[in-house]
Amino acid sequence: MFGEGQKVAGNVPRLQLISACVAVVEKRLAGLIGVVVFLLITANIICRLLRLPVFWIDELAIYAMIWMAFLAASAGIQGRDHIVVTLVADRLSAQAQKFLSYFVDLVMLVFGGILLVLAWVWFAPYDLIIAGGDVTEFSENTLNFIYSEPTSAIGLPKFLFWLIMPIFSFTICLHSLAHLLSVRIVNLPEKSKVSAFQKEGE
């Protein structure tokens, strides 16, 4: 699947390869969810024209869009596609730019770490196990109502949709750690980026 990736695989830390693979999956999934959003909105028009409006379609479309956005944003970290201010970097030497990029990756890793800790506190999986998976008991013990929060129209618990947050927090860590570890290997980030993009164009 990753022709380009395999060629360099010998001298690449495994993490780098995993990060690139995850990014490709994220992109394709984001595109697929984009199609789903498109179809949901179309279905909404048709249902309403038939005077059979389904009132949860909008809500589902919004949640789908949010999953699409976070998956794309995560892949964007791996591909360095995010919107950045290059005012300073443009005026630096190649060596200094490399150092700066190392710093940015470090900030991103710390950021991902913070989000991951906050997601752990919020989802409190340990307390849920202590409560034996009983949501009522969990809420009484912790005064945390994440598992009893409903969606307003769909009728599913909302934490199912919120799951993208811990996933996103984790993949930020993965992608930025992979960037950090690859910093001494010349040109590697560019190559992994190219391989990820080439697959998409095929």
Partner 1 sequence: ASGNGDVMRLGLITPPPHQWTKTATAIAAELEKDGFSKKLSVFPSGQLGNEAQMLQLLQTGAMDIGFFTTSELANRLPQFAAFYTPYLAKDAAHAARILSGTVAVEILASTRKIGLVGLGYGMAGMRQIVARGQVSGYGDLKGLKVRVVPDAPLTDFWYLAGTAPTAIPLSVLYDAFANGQVDAMHIDFENTLRLKFYQHAKSVLYTDHMMFPMVALASAKSWARMSEDDKKYLNNVFQKHLAVLLTSYVTADQGFKEKLIEEGVNIVKVDKDFFGDAPDNWYDRWSKRSPYVQKLKEEADSVR
Partner 2 sequence: MLPIGFFLTLLLLGVPIAFVLVLSAVFLVLISGDHVLFLSFHQQFFGGMEQYGLLALPLFIVVGELMGVGGMARRLVALAGLFVGNLRGGLAYVNLLANALMASILGSAVAQISVMNKVMTPEMEKQGYTRLYSVALTTSGGLLAPILPPSMLFVVYGVLAQISIGDMFIAGIVPGLMLVAGFIAVIFILGFFYEYPDTEQAVRVHWLTCLRDGVPAVLVPVVIVASILGGIATPTEAAALAGLTAIFVGCFIYKELTVKDIGPVFVRSAMTSGMILVLIGAAQIFGFVITFEQIPGQIVNWITSVASSELQFLLLLNLLLLMVGMFIDAIAALIIVVPLLLPVAVNVFGLSPFHFGVIVCLNLALGLVTPPIGAGLFVAASVSGEKAGAIAKAILPFVAVTVLVLLLLCLFPALVII
Closer residue to partner 1 in complex, CB, 95/152: 152
What residue 32 binds from partner 1, partner 2, none (CB within 5 to 8 A, per partner kind)?
partner 2
In the complex, minimum distance from the CB of residue 3 to partner 2, in angstroms, rounded to a whole number: 18
66 sits near partner 2 (criterion: CB under 8 A): yes
Here the tokens at position 162 are: 């919120």
Work out what residue 153 binds among partner 1, partner 2, none; the CB cut-off runs from 5 to 8 Å by kind: partner 1
The binder of partner 2 chosen from 6, 38, 133, 194 (CB under 8 A)? 38
Does 52 sit near partner 2 (CB under 8 A)?
no
Residue 74 CB, nearest approach to partner 1 (Å): 24
- Residue given tokens 């913070």 in the structure block: 114
Task: Provide φ and ψ at 122, rounded to 5°.
Answer: -70, -50
Name the segment binding partner 1 (CB under 8 A); options: 45-53, 70-78, 162-170, 194-202. 45-53
Q: Which residues bind partner 2 (CB under 8 A)?
A: 27-28, 30-35, 37-38, 41-42, 44-45, 49, 58, 61-63, 65-66, 68-73, 75-77, 81-89, 100-101, 103-104, 107-108, 111, 114-115, 118-119, 121-122, 161-162, 164-165, 200-201
Q: Which residues bind partner 1 (CB under 8 A)?
A: 48, 51-53, 55-56, 58-59, 139, 143-145, 148-150, 152-153
